[in-house]
Chains A and B, each alone.
Chain A
Amino acid sequence: MPVLEVLNIHKQFGKTEVLKGIDFQMDEGQVVSVIGSSGSGKTTLLRCITGLETADCGKITVGGRTTFDSTDNRKLTKAEKRENQLCTGLVFQSFNLFPQYTVLRNVTLAKELLVKEECKQQKCPRNEMKARISEIEETAKQIIDSVGLSDKLANYPCELSGGQQQRVAIARALMLSPKVLCFDEPTSALDPEITGEVLSVIRKLADEGRTMLIVTHEMGFAHEVSNEVVFMSDGVIAERGTPDEVFDHPKNARLQEFLSATLRA
């Protein structure tokens, strides 16, 4: 069964139709890259999947849970909304770390709020809550270590380089163990010489079998890390296939044009 299923997603901003019926699915442990020219709707698609934008029409299922269904008019409860939200994670192009918190706190905050709320609901004793919170801290430290920043736990985002900040953002998303982790051009805001450190973290996650959906302009990276590449053009998926098929034997004329343009650049 696919872990992410996107069915006939349409999205319009005012009169401009940005997504014109997107269908695709991905299996557990797969890495899918989304490429396409500027304005083709890649970000909008990710935002619909991660719940930042509400599609006009269509259905999204993550790990068997329907997180969006335009035919279902029922009002979701807060708990359901949150449950849906936690199915996916998103790493932003511009990191969006919380500037007033240390690296460790950036990573633990959301999980801690979640656990505290759970504890309050289940009326569990104080020391149990404390134990669970210190557990969170341990997990966070391991995750931060896995992105290579264990020496920066107590630093604030403003004290880190862009690459380091993005790695914290990845750790922060991982902390909530989303079923699908989405990336929106995770290296586009970085200087070329430090994109490598972020890409290698993503590569490592791919090796660990994380399910990831990555919008990227790094063609070489997409080729190497993905199981499947999706080419979006003008609000539709114009072509999809293995990296070899898409990059080396493109069939769609738009894709051929796009690839030769990016190669020339």
Chain B
Amino acid sequence: MSFMQVTTDLFTGFYENLIIFFVTLLGAIPLGLLITFGSMSRFRPIQWLTKTFIWVIRGTPLMLQLFVVLYIPGLLFGVPMRSRMTAALVAFIINYSAYFSEIFRGGIESISKGQYEAGQVLGMTKTQVFFKVVLLQVVKRIVPPMGNEIITLVKDTSLARVIAIAELIMAAERYAGKGYIWPLFYTGVFFLVFNGLLTLLFGFIEKKLDFYKG
């Protein structure tokens, strides 16, 4: 059992983590935005519904949500989840959209009323005010908390192994079963390197947005 062999095997596992990571980002950001608008809606029932959704999703473990998404369709509707990966992606997207939506809401609500009013008295439409005045300011404010959450997501992808997705840590566990512990520790390097790259990326974005203060 060579180092190269282990590395290749772990990469195969890490590939699953990466899929979960990128697809979750792609799905949870737009869904999160939708939930944000729901939770800020002036229509009470929608607001109530989204707030309850956020409460449930944030109030229960992601691990449990993975099981629920995997088993509930079969138990309740008689249509079992065909692919465990699909179940994982659905659970991750739902879970992270709840967290993202709260970050988005915080960002949007942190923009002073004066910005909207200034836009309005200058004759801009609500859409123009949102896209031309507010959006970039919101983005600037949410980059740090989003960076945090996204780095957490990288590590959370390993939870997928509870529904038997052969991700990185599971790949290493197979070696542990054969008496080799070190590949398990080696997985840390994968997370560290990937999160290091993300940290650099977020640092870069923060710097790009640092051309103004406030």
Contact = CB atoms under 8 A, between A and B. Distances in A.
Interface of A: 50-52, 78, 82, 85-86, 88-90, 92, 94, 96-100, 109-110, 113-114, 156-158, 172-173, 176
Interface residues of chain A: helix, strand, loop or mixed (majority): mixed
B137 interface: yes
B136 A89 contact: no
A51 B128 CA distance: 17
A88 B114 contact: no
Given A100-B137, A156-B212, A110 B115 contact: no
A9 to B, nearest CB: 18
Contacts of A86: 123
A52 B120 contact: yes
Contacts, number: 61
Contacts of A157: 212, 214
B114 A85 contact: no
Contacts of A173: 121-122
From B122, B124, B213, residue with most partner A Cβ within 10 Å: B122
Contacts of A78: 125
Nearest to B213: A158
B123 A92 contact: no
Given A100-B140, A158-B214, 18 more contacts: A51-B120, A52-B121, A78-B125, A85-B123, A86-B123, A88-B121, A92-B114, A96-B118, A99-B212, A99-B213, A100-B136, A100-B212, A110-B123, A110-B124, A113-B132, A157-B214, A158-B213, A173-B121
B43 interface: no
Main secondary structure of the interface of B (DSSP, over half): helix
Interface string B74-89: 0000000000000000
A181 B91 CA distance: 54
Contacts of A156: 211-213
B178 to A, nearest CB: 56
7 contacts: A51-B120, A97-B118, A100-B136, A100-B137, A110-B124, A156-B212, A173-B121
A109 B125 contact: no
B124 A113 contact: yes
B149 interface: no
B211 to A, nearest CB: 7
B51 to A, nearest CB: 25
A98 B123 contact: no
A99 B118 contact: no
A100 B118 CA distance: 14
Interface in B102-151: 112, 114-115, 117-125, 128, 132-133, 136-137, 140
A93 to B, nearest CB: 9
A176 B114 contact: no
A50 B119 CA distance: 12
A172 B122 contact: yes
Contacts of B121: 50-52, 85, 88-90, 173
A176 B123 contact: yes
Interface in B197-211: 211
A58 to B, nearest CB: 20
Contact of B118 (A82, A98, A158): A98
A89 B120 CA distance: 10
A107 B61 CA distance: 50
Contact of A96 (B114, B123, B132, B213): B114
A100 to B, nearest CB: 5
Chain A to chain B: the 10 pairs with minimum beta-carbon distance, closest first: A110-B122, A96-B114, A96-B118, A99-B214, A158-B213, A90-B121, A156-B212, A86-B123, A85-B123, A100-B136
A96 B137 contact: no
Nearest to A90: B121
A156 B115 CA distance: 15
Given A82-B125, A110-B122, A113-B132, A92 B117 contact: yes
